[in-house]
Amino acid sequence: MKEIGIVLNGVTGRMGRNQHLERSLVALANEGGIQVADGEFVVPKPVLVGRNPSKLAKIADDFGIEDWTTDLDEALSREDCPVYFDSQTTGLRVEAVKKAIAAGKHVYCEKPTALNTEDAVELYRLAKAAGVKQGVVQDKLWLPGLLKLRSLLENNVLGRILSVRGEFGYWVFDGETVPCQRPSWNYRKEDGGGIILDMFPHWRYVIDNLFGEIKSVDCTALTHIPVRWDEDGNRYDCTAEDAAYARFELANGIIVNFNSSWAVRVRRDDLLTIQVDGTGGSAVATLRDCLLQRAEDTPRPVWNPDVESPLDYFDDWEQVEGGAAFENAFKAQWRLFLKHVLLDEPFPLDLLEGAKGVQLAEKGMESWQQKATVEIPELVS
């Protein structure tokens, strides 16, 4: 059995442990690995890296992994580990990825790839100059609901697209009486927190890949909950925004309105919903499902607030079938990246694509601060 060593840095975090280790690399290993030829498979072998030895030891024991270390430099020196993956907090990412590139490792990392566009572009240029393979996590492209929506768009079921409306978020408890379900650093600007930097990189690749290139952004953000309590029960002031309300104009004329909030209660189909309206019909995509209302099934409402509406606006929508079994979105992208490394198969989601996400976040903040629409220039690679 052949193996490919992967230095996995940041595995003690929720995303690193749950999505990247357990549901992706461990799951791929349990399936027998990545097929590289007839009857030939390569199994991922993670080397866990972090700053807390007791947490690392516990995670390693949970998954039967023998190899872990708090010494990143030592891990990067291993010849049997050609891949480096980073899911640390954003503020620690640039320095670690630079070390990995200098060590000749192929790099794959979470988004946002940096705290600012300049650093994000530099990572791309360094990796390109070093000749190493590179990639950034853009997991939502493999969500079942978005895959079904992509199929509708590619088959022109919705006709000419007019507008898109996205709603994301849920109520994040402040931690005083009910424990907060997100890390406290998310609400401190000085630690890389804020919903714009967290979510706009997602919206960049979703919009770019499904609807078209973003031309401009008009964004307003707020800190709705000014005080929270951290993991140790200590009260702290929130210095980062917890909600952002944005309007994106695309180069093809489509208007995308996207609300992102950690201070909203869910009265919609899912934590993320994306409604697409076109001349041939409309679709609503969630994390796993996609609903379609064709033009011929569209009801004809009449405005009359004095009587109960005879229409149920949740009728006349049909479930879009996927036609295939869907796997974990992170796992699906991990398979593609490892095939890129092992077989040189195409992988267009490189660090430049990651830099575009950071750029949108930066321009969104600029728009918020200037109270103005801000253009999104093309990134020069």
- The DSSP result for 260-309, as a single string, is EESB----SSSSEEEEEEETTEEEEE-SS-EEEEEGGG-------TTS--
pLDDT value, residue 305: 94
Percent over 90 (pLDDT), the chain: 97
Separation of alpha carbons 137 and 221, rounded Å: 25
Q: What pTM, to 2 d.p., does this model score?
A: 0.94
Q: What is the CATH number of domain 141-324+359-374?
A: 3.30.360.10
**Tens-place pLDDT, residues 9-18:** 999 988 999 9
96-100, 299-303, 336-340: segment of lowest average pLDDT: 299-303
The domain ranges of the chain are 2-139+329-349, 141-324+359-374
CATH architecture of the domain with residue range 2-139+329-349: 3-Layer(aba) Sandwich (3.40)
- Sign (positive or negative) of CA dihedral 131, 344, 100, 89: positive
Residue 324 has pLDDT above 80, yes or no: no
